[in-house]
Chains A and B, each alone.
Chain A
Amino acid sequence: MLERVAVTGMAAITAYGFGCAALLSGVLSGKPAFGPVTRFDVAQRRVGVAATLPGSPDLRELLDEVIGQVGAGGPVFLAAHQRMGIGDRTYTSACVAASTAVADAASTIAHGDAQRVVVAAGYLVDPVQFGLFDAGRALAVDGAVRPFSMGRKGLLLGDGVAAIVLEARPRREPMAWIDGWGRAGDAYHVCQPRPDGSGLARAIERALLKAGRPGLDYVNAHGSGSPQSDAAEAQALPRGVPVSSTKALHGQALEASPLIELVTTILAMNEGALPVNAGYLGPDPECPVDVILDEPHAGDIRHALVVNSAFGGANTALVVSAP
């Protein structure tokens, strides 16, 4: 008999500010957190926009802060671009690092290998990654992220540091349950997604199977805003379910982004309001997705899906249920 996996603590720091309340109010405002990059020189770059906190914060300090907020105890699984001298295991699987860590943590708890696991993740916009994404022509030259939209130009980076606690048999009502998790690969290309989205579809199928195939009320999509990636993802997403990619609001936090999106999804579920898919200009026939437009969707959100994809054809899906 598997243990049910509860989320009992969350902390987040994004360009919207310190704390989960700042993240929730920011994403529900529908106003993207992007602005000119002042942390380092971008004069030679094609794009000079990102979603950043003021100044030049230290990633290790912010990770210590979010882990301190949720409380140490049990193993810590870290998702980051490199080892940070904290945590019992470090996931570096690019844009699915944090969701892979959550899946492994959930499995660890479900099978009774640990009572409590902290998953922490962090990325702060830095000149090296910014230069790489700029050189790779991955950044949106129009300064906006437009997931699943006609005319989308690419992604924009954003600061994101977060921690969550997963526990078996919580002593108080949890913030949410992680009822399903799935991971699958494309076997297609070093950096392009399989166009038919079948790798992501298998990750989603695995997660839904574990969760007992609940009716979904929301999908927090990977939705990077990249032309090929969004079109492939759209083939895999379930139809008839409200979708938004909150990367259009808080930015792409690379290894940490899935955890920011999971925290955002749980906050939105508990608030009963789903964030919009910002930056949308109009439908793209290659992206038949029911995106949330204009203002947050209000309602009783019982089950949500959080999906992520990365270079190498890595895909993950998490099913989250309201308490």
Chain B
Amino acid sequence: MNVLAEAQVSSQDSVPALAGFIASSFSPLVAEVARRCLSGVTPNPATAIVIVSPDGDVETARAAASGGRVSPLLFFQAVPNAIAGYIAAKWDLRGPVVCLEEPGIEGGVEVARIIIRDGDADEALVVFVGDGARAVLVRGVRP
């Protein structure tokens, strides 16, 4: 796998809010690190999005479980697919969307390798959210 671009957002960085997403820094972090990673390249429509985190969006899960009336906005952001859909629409990335709970970015890169080998994408944007966020844009060689 060739790394075409990479970016990081540290846990100390200020991350812009994202319209429609509330109560959690997870989705804004994903959007920001994806923006930094993709801003210097020409996006290829045949790009998959793989979002990896050890425990998912804990803050949204906590808000959804807090009892009382639930905000309808939490309905869609409760799954990481939602922010993947935001990135896909913004950058016109039409490859597969995959979300994983894994301890590191390596699990996402492995899934990206499988997707590219299968011909379902040429490239993959793999985003890991932990303490901060990291993104890599990878390109594989099909057999």
Q: Interface on A for B, CB 8 Å cutoff?
A: 81-83, 89-94, 96-97, 100, 103-104, 107-108, 111, 128-129, 131-138, 181-191, 199, 202-203, 206, 210, 310-316
Those 9 A-B pairs whose CB atoms lie nearest each other, nearest first: A136-B75, A312-B81, A312-B85, A183-B96, A314-B97, A191-B76, A135-B70, A94-B79, A311-B81
The answer, among B54, B86, B120, for a CB contact under 8 Å with A182, is B120
Contacts of B94 in A (CB 8 A): 184-187, 199, 202
The answer, among B20, B74, B95, B111, for a CB contact under 8 Å with A132, is B74
Q: Of residues 86 to 108 in B, which have CB atoms within 8 Å of A's CB atoms? A: 86, 88-89, 91-102, 107
Complex: how many Å from CA A90 to CA B95?
20
Asked if residues B99 and A94 are in contact (CB atoms below 8 Å), the reply is yes
Contacts of A129 in B (CB 8 A): 78
**Chain B 51-65 against A: per-residue CB contact (8 Å), 1 yes, 0 no?**
000111000010011
Asked if residues A94 and B81 are in contact (CB atoms below 8 Å), the reply is yes
Q: Tell me whether chain B's interface is mostly helix, strand or loop, or mixed.
A: mixed
Q: Interface on B for A, CB 8 Å cutoff?
A: 20, 45, 48-49, 54-56, 61, 64-65, 69-72, 74-86, 88-89, 91-102, 107, 111, 114-115, 117-120
What would 15 more interface pairs be, CB under 8 Å, given A107-B117, A316-B96?
A: A93-B97, A93-B99, A93-B100, A108-B114, A132-B75, A135-B72, A136-B76, A182-B120, A186-B89, A191-B75, A191-B85, A312-B85, A313-B89, A313-B97, A314-B98
Complex: how many Å from CA A321 to CA B90?
38
Write 5 A-B pairs (CB below 8 A) sorted by A numbering. A132-B64, A136-B72, A186-B89, A188-B89, A313-B85
Asked if residues A187 and B89 are in contact (CB atoms below 8 Å), the reply is yes
Complex: how many Å from CA A316 to CA B65?
30
Given contacts A185-B48, A311-B85, A314-B81, contact A190 B76 (CB under 8 A): yes
Complex: how many Å from CA A316 to CA B95?
11
The answer, among B65, B82, B117, for a CB contact under 8 Å with A311, is B82
Given contacts A90-B102, A187-B89, A188-B85, contact A312 B97 (CB under 8 A): yes
Contacts of A83 in B (CB 8 A): 54-55, 101
Residue of B nearest to A90 (CB): B101
Q: Which of B45, B49, B85, B115 has the most CB of A within 10 A?
A: B85
Contacts of A132 in B (CB 8 A): 64, 70, 74-75, 78
The answer, among A131, A183, A186, A210, for a CB contact under 8 Å with B64, is A131
Given contacts A107-B114, A128-B65, A206-B120, contact A187 B100 (CB under 8 A): no
Q: Which of A89, A134, A190, A315 has the most CB of B within 10 A?
A: A190
Complex: how many Å from CA A131 to CA B63?
12
The answer, among A90, A97, A138, A314, for a CB contact under 8 Å with B84, is A314
Asked if residues A190 and B20 are in contact (CB atoms below 8 Å), the reply is yes
Contacts of A134 in B (CB 8 A): 70
Asked if residues B101 and A185 are in contact (CB atoms below 8 Å), the reply is no
Contacts of A182 in B (CB 8 A): 120
Asked if residues B83 and A190 are in contact (CB atoms below 8 Å), the reply is yes
Complex: how many Å from CA A96 to CA B80?
12
Q: Which of A90, A134, A210, A315 has the most CB of B within 10 A?
A: A90
Residue of B nearest to A45 (CB): B70
The answer, among A185, A190, A210, for a CB contact under 8 Å with B95, is A185
Shortest distance from the beta carbon of B71 to any chain A beta carbon, whole Å? 7
Shortest distance from the beta carbon of A229 to any chain B beta carbon, whole Å? 13
Asked if residues B93 and A185 are in contact (CB atoms below 8 Å), the reply is yes
Contacts of A81 in B (CB 8 A): 56
Q: Which of B64, B69, B89 has the most CB of A within 10 A?
A: B89
Shortest distance from the beta carbon of B68 to any chain A beta carbon, whole Å? 9
Contacts of A138 in B (CB 8 A): 75
Residue of A nearest to B69 (CB): A135
Asked if residues A187 and B88 are in contact (CB atoms below 8 Å), the reply is yes
Complex: how many Å from CA A316 to CA B81?
14
